[in-house]
Amino acid sequence: MNWNYRFITRLPENFDDEDILFIRQLGIDYTYYALPVAEHDYNSVKRVVDRVHDGGLKMEYIHSNLFTFNSSIVLGTGDRVGTMHQLNEFIEACSSLGIKGLELDFVPFFIFSSGLESTNRGAVVRTTDIDAIVHSKTPPFGKPAWYNPDQDARWKALEKEYYAALERGYSREEMWDNFAYLADGVRATAERCNFKLSLHPSDPPCKECIGGVPQLITSFDDYKKAFSIAGDKILAMTFCCGCWLEGGDGFGDLLSDLETALQNGWVDVLHVRNISEPLPHFDETFLDNGYFDYYPVFKLLAKYDYQGFINPDHHPIMVDGPKRRAPQSYAFGFMRAYAMRAAAEMER
């Protein structure tokens, strides 16, 4: 292995020892987990971390079904003060257990999508059509490929929040004010704990308002503004190549933006995903079957000695169903081949 970045993959909800073994068989040392809403106290997080460590894996990064899509944080609704207090306690708990980062999607509801209804080479994939989403009569939440025990209850609550936001309407200025409130609210705790919020782009990164709420991170300039507000001591990037490809020229130049982000040390996590074409309509695809050639990305990672995480964040659903072991194997095999090729080229 001639590269310093760390491959990482997600554990399914209700994971077992076989799931951990599968990740080890892929040659991956790091994993992350999306915590159910009710499991954000110290003991709940410790149970997950201990089980991961006992299985021979490492965990330094985590997802949260409570804080990742949270209208109190993003829209300033409900008990925002209480939510921020809970988030600070969560950061302290995670830090004490060796977790250094939390992925944050600064969107109030969920990923918007037309659903998992298209196919690519017979595999089920996510498809997104902006016109259908904007004019949807019901909340256009993306159907998750991962099983989530919280999902039914969460969606009922999110539907109420969606319709309330649609009736009220929000501006980008309000959204940026709420982002600043978040940054200021966690700054002291995050700096003391050496902990970072890893900001994911809006997905899809469309300019249209959805559910009365504008998408906040829809361009590289939006990221620059986020760093000007929060600073790089507590903020990092989840550089989602898939969202860059979704946004096309409107988001920015993927390779140029990635090089700038790597030069600034902003990237903690890199997501690798391919799609059929930019918005207003796209289907997700296999990594070697979309409109983008990923090899130049791996050359940049080698050039700048990237040492963060790298993950194919979405997978088609193949014959093995929601466990998605076949597409994970496919994706990581593809990524390793490009990583080896780029590292060898750098050595010449």
* 109-132 tens-digit pLDDT: 878 888 777 888 899 999 999 999
What is residue 68's predicted lDDT score, i.e. its pLDDT? 87
What is residue 80's predicted lDDT score, i.e. its pLDDT? 94
What is residue 340's predicted lDDT score, i.e. its pLDDT? 94
pLDDT at 150 over 70: no
Report the mean per-residue pLDDT for the chain.
93
Task: Identify whether 1 is part of a domain.
Answer: no
Q: Give the pLDDT band (50/70/90) at residue 280.
A: very high
What is residue 218's predicted lDDT score, i.e. its pLDDT? 97
Reported pTM? 0.95
For residue 222, what are the domain limits? 6-347
Q: Is 129 helix (H, G, I), strand (E, B) or coil?
A: strand
Tell me the β-bridge partners of 126.
Answer: 116
Q: Is 307 helix (H, G, I), strand (E, B) or coil?
A: coil
Span 215-243, mean pLDDT?
A: 98
Q: Name which residue leads in pLDDT, 36 or 7.
A: 7
Q: Are 133 and 210 in contact (CB under 8 A)?
A: yes
What is residue 324's predicted lDDT score, i.e. its pLDDT? 84
Q: Is 145 helix (H, G, I), strand (E, B) or coil?
A: coil
What is residue 143's predicted lDDT score, i.e. its pLDDT? 67
Contacts of 260 (CB under 8 A, 6+ apart): 220
pLDDT at 237 over 90: yes
**Looking at 138-142, 223-227, 237-241, which range is the least confident one?**
138-142
Task: Identify whether 134 is part of a domain.
Answer: yes
Q: Give the pLDDT band (50/70/90) at residue 183.
A: very high
Q: Give the pLDDT band (50/70/90) at residue 287.
A: very high
Look up residue 318 and give its amino acid: M
What is residue 148's predicted lDDT score, i.e. its pLDDT? 64
Alpha carbon distance 71, 78 (integer Å): 8
Split into its structural domains, the chain has a count of: 1
**Looking at 101-105, 108-112, 228-232, which range is the least confident one?**
108-112
Strands 274-275 and 281-285: antiparallel
Q: Name which residue leads in pLDDT, 157 or 218.
A: 218
The CATH number given to whatever domain includes residue 220 is 3.20.20.150
Per-residue pLDDT of 301-331, as tens digits, reads 999 999 999 999 888 989 987 778 999 999 9
Contacts of 47 (CB under 8 A, 6+ apart): none
Q: Are 142 and 125 in contact (CB under 8 A)?
A: no
Task: Identify whether 243 is part of a domain.
Answer: yes
Q: Is 187 helix (H, G, I), strand (E, B) or coil?
A: helix
Task: Identify whether 323 is part of a domain.
Answer: yes
Q: Is 93 helix (H, G, I), strand (E, B) or coil?
A: helix
What is residue 1's predicted lDDT score, i.e. its pLDDT? 61
Helix H or strand E encompassing 223: helix 220-230
What is residue 313's predicted lDDT score, i.e. its pLDDT? 87
Place of tokens 């989602």: 240
